[in-house]
């Protein structure tokens, strides 16, 4: 018999409900979870680091207060570097940086350059470092950026003499410093000092001539020229003078090195092609490339603030003029167009101004112009020889060399030419 078209004796099969996932479905779910994790974990990590930064900033704010209490009890004097942590005696928990971890009993370092000094000795307390994230050392005292640890995503938490705390890049954190060279000790040597003229420290000690130094923007390295190997070559060293390494090799002079803003490249002048021309290389000496082929010569190159162009002096028009060109040597533009000598140009940190040396008023003076070459203005107006301007990191002031006191010394002025003050006394010196 048949019922509803189904043969008798046949049993209709029923499908069983599926109790699990197929392999494909499982892989899809895993992939979605992995994508969500990849998106969210960095956010969580960043949030946790922000919390650690906040704790670190609070720690150093209290450390600064402890130092101020010490100063109140000691006629205003800063603690000695050798005894700072015994003198201030902060609670143990304040010395633990949460990013460094509790395995490091003291995660901070005291600015050793303040040792025994008085607040009145400081040019700008707002800019003078007091404590910062330090490397794990026996003294926990910092003398340069090489003693600091940028553990907060490439930055350091730091307290300053006035008591404020900030997350900072390392460049300029020691109250901003500059490098120069002087023959005060019998031959040209490299020195580093604070922008108020204090704390001068000799970095090289060589019978040869070491000169034309330039500091990287992070304050960690210095490049310079030296003839210690028979003729001028480009060298690199740490900001404390250690690790001196030769970068160029050849029979021609290589001079006047200048860092790019990111510190990865160096521009310099070389005579290896027969006449002085502008070159660029990597910061390890590799990838040397000639950028100019000027029929006379091209010198005094320096990167723009954004690192995308170069300023240099070319002599193709019968006198030195300041040009701007692309990093491949193309697009050269004359910015000065003056019959006088214009040279040693440098760009302001914000890229809007260029300071340079010019003899258009009969002697060497410091000028300031817009980045496109317009509106040149004489800042010094002095019968002495004023040259080699350099902007301070905040762009508000210029340092320069002058012999207005009878000796070559370093001076500082505001960018409108006012408030001129002498930083070095009776030094035969050049920034």
Cα 40 to Cα 36, 43, 154, 214, 390: the distances in Å are: 6, 5, 22, 42, 45
Average pLDDT rounded to a whole number, residues 172-182: 75
pLDDT tens readout for residues 232-274: 999 999 888 999 999 999 899 999 999 998 889 999 999 999 9
pLDDT tens readout for residues 7-51: 555 444 555 565 566 777 788 888 888 887 777 666 666 677 788
72 burial via Cβ count (<10 Å: 0-12, 13-18, 19+): exposed
pLDDT tens readout for residues 303-361: 999 999 999 999 988 899 999 999 999 999 999 999 999 999 999 999 999 999 999 98
Q: What angle do CA 102, 108, 113 make, to 5 degrees?
A: 165
**Mean pLDDT, the chain, whole residue set:** 87
- Which segment of 116-130, 176-190, 356-370 scores lowest on mean pLDDT? 116-130
Average pLDDT rounded to a whole number, residues 186-197: 83
Res. 1: pLDDT tops 50: no
Domain boundaries, the chain: 60-168, 177-430
pLDDT at 20 (0 to 100) = 63
This model's pTM is above 0.85:
no
Reported as half-sphere exposure (CB side, CA atoms, 13 A), residue 120 has a value of 2
Residue located via tokens 């003050």? 421
Res. 296: pLDDT tops 60: yes
Res. 375: pLDDT tops 60: yes
- CATH for the stretch 177-430: 2.120.10.30
């Amino acid at each position: 018999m048949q019922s509803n078209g189904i043969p008798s004796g046949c049993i209709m099969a029923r499908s069983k409900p599926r109790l699990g996932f197929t392999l494909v479905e499982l892989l899809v779910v895993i992939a979605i979870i992995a994508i969500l994790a990849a998106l969210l974990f960095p956010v969580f990590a960043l949030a946790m680091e922000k919390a650690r930064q906040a704790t670190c900033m609070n720690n150093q704010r209290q450390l600064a207060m402890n130092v101020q209490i010490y100063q109140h009890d000691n006629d205003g004097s800063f603690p000695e570097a050798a005894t700072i942590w015994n003198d201030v005696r902060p609670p143990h928990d304040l010395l633990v940086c949460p990013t460094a971890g509790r395995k490091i009993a003291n995660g901070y370092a005291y600015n050793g350059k303040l040792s025994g000094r008085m607040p009145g000795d400081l040019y700008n307390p707002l800019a003078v470092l007091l404590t910062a994230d330090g490397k794990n050392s026996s003294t926990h005292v910092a003398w340069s950026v090489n003693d600091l640890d940028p553990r907060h995503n490439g930055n350091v938490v730091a307290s300053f003499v006035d008591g404020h705390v900030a997350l900072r890049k390392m460049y300029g954190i020691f109250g901003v410093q500059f490098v120069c060279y002087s023959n005060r000790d019998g031959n040209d040597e490299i020195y580093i000092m604070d922008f108020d003229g204090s704390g001068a420290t000799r970095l090289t000690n060589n019978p040869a001539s070491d000169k034309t130094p330039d500091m990287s923007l992070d304050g960690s390295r210095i490049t310079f020229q030296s003839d210690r190997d028979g003729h001028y070559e480009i060298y690199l060293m740490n900001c404390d003078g250690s690790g001196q390494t030769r970068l160029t090799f050849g029979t021609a002079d290589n001079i006047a090195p200048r860092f790019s803003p990111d510190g990865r490249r160096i521009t310099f002048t070389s005579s290896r092609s027969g006449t002085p021309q502008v070159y660029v290389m990597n910061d390890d000496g590799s990838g040397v490339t000639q950028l100019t082929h000027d029929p006379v010569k091209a010198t005094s190159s320096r990167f723009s603030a954004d690192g995308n162009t170069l300023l240099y002096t070319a002599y193709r028009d019968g006198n030195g003029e300041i040009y701007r060109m692309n990093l491949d040597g193309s697009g050269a533009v004359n910015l000065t167009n003056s019959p006088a000598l214009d040279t040693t140009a440098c760009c302001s940190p914000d890229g809007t101004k260029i300071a340079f040396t010019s003899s258009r008023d009969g002697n060497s003076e410091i000028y300031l112009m817009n980045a496109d070459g317009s509106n040149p203005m004489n800042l010094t107006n002095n019968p002495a020889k004023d040259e080699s301007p350099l902007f301070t990191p905040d762009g508000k002031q210029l340092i320069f060399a002058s012999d207005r006191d009878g000796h070559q010394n370093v001076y500082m002025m505001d960018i409108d030419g006012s408030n001129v003050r002498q930083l070095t006394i009776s030094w035969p010196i050049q920034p």
